[in-house]
Structure 1
Amino acid sequence: MKKILICRHGKSSWEDPYLSDHDRPLAARGLINTKEMARRLLSRSIKPDLALSSDAKRARDTAFFTFDILGINKEKIEQHASLFHASANTILEHLQMISDHINIVFLYGHNPGFNELIWMLGGEIDNLPTAGQYGFNLKVNKWSEIHKDKAEHWFYDFPKNNIQNLRTS
């Protein structure tokens, strides 16, 4: 079985109106929420074998801070320019190319592509909020076999969520 955790970047800063969308950093609240969500993953003993991240600063930083808290080497984070505001199909193509010895993958990036991917795999949310996480168990042995019929909800968490007993099996 494979698992994916879709991690939307933390809230971004609009402090500098001259920065490109790609270069916007995390806002103070985005950093706080990112670290809190990483601590929740740590408390549930959820750690990835690999992460795929948009190369946008806010997505990269979300991945880096999460990996720091989880105690994972940042070399396991692959950055891809093609994941910056990628469609669900583009994200799925990246997933399907992962080596089959990898079992748990975290994705770091953006809406609307993440919402579309969640819906494509059968997830039922309106919107993945900033710093939100949506996970799927995939009943496949090969990443190339990902399909809606083989995906089941693993868990959903977000910064304002007060539920502490989320299913994580």
Structure 2
Amino acid sequence: MRTLTIIRHAKSSWEQEGLSDFERPLNERGRRDAPVMAARLKKDAAQPDLLVSSPALRAITTARVFADVLGIPTENIQLQAKIYDASLGTLLNVVQSLDDQYPHIALFGHNPGLSQLAQRLAECNVDELPTCAIVQISLPIKHWRDAGAEIGTLSYRSWPKDQS
């Protein structure tokens, strides 16, 4: 059994002119939501062994907040450049190439790809993941390479606007 926790980065800022999309930081709401959502995950759901993040500033910042709240060492955060601006196919390839020594991995990235990935792996009833949303999918597989369409089961989901 494998578990994939999909986390869309927290809300980011568009205020600083001259920054590329890749460099956008979290805004006030994002800085507020990320620790709340990490605490909710810690309280209500299974904990990941490894965090894999897009290297975009808003994604890696969100991953670091989750690591801090969950008590996961920063060396257990891996950057994966392919996650930034990735299509569904690319994200599925990223999942299929994950290290089998980690049975539960959290993936931090961007829409629309993450929403499409959640929909592909399990019946999620998710049109679009809001910022800082968490979707946890149980996959009945021994190896990450076997992840595929509609084989998973949604085991947990939480949006920032949900009541805790």
TM category (shorter chain) comes to: over 0.9
- The answer as to 2:28 corresponding to 1:21 is no
Deviation >6 Å, runs of 4+ = none
Match of 1:60 in 2: 60
CA–CA distance in structure 2, aligned partners of residues 90 and 148 of structure 1? 14
SS of structure 1 residue aligned to 2:37? helix
- Measure, in 2, the Cα distance between the counterparts of 1:100 and 1:27: 35
TM-fit CA distance, 1:17: 1.9
State how far apart, in whole Å, the 1-side matches of 2:16 and 2:98 are. 36
Q: Give the equivalent residue in structure 2 for 1:78.
A: 78
- Describe how 1:13-52 pairs up with structure 2 within 5 A: 13-44=13-44, 46-52=46-52
Report the counterpart of residue 102 of structure 2 in structure 1. 102
CA contact (8 A) 1:53 1:80 kept: yes
Q: Distance in 1 between matches of 2:34 and 2:45?
A: 17
Q: Which residue in 1 is equivalent to 2:146?
A: 145
Q: Show CA shifts across 1:11-36 (max 9, x none).
A: 00112021100000000110110110
Q: Match of 2:92, as an amino acid?
A: L
Look up the equivalent residue of 1:94 and give its one-letter code. Answer: V
Deviations 1:77-116, CA, capped at 9 Å, x for gaps: 1112221111111111111112222110100000000111
- Which stretch has the larger CA shift, 118-127 or 1-10? 118-127
Q: Which amino acid aligns with 1:129?
A: P
Q: CA RMSD in A?
A: 1.2
Deviation, structure 1 residue 45: 5.6
Percent identity over the alignment is: 37
Residue aligning to 2:160: 159
> 1:52-80 deviations in whole A, cap 9, x for unaligned?
11000000000001100111101111112
Which position in structure 2 is the counterpart of 1:167? none
- Asked whether 1:93 is paired with 2:102, we answer no
Unmatched tracts of structure 2, length 5 or more: none
Cα deviations by residue, 1:99-145 (Å, 9 ceiling, x for unpaired): 22211010000000011111211322111000001110000011111
Secondary structure in structure 2 of the residue aligned to 1:59: helix
- TM-score w.r.t. structure 2 length? 0.95
TM, length-normalised to structure 1:
0.92
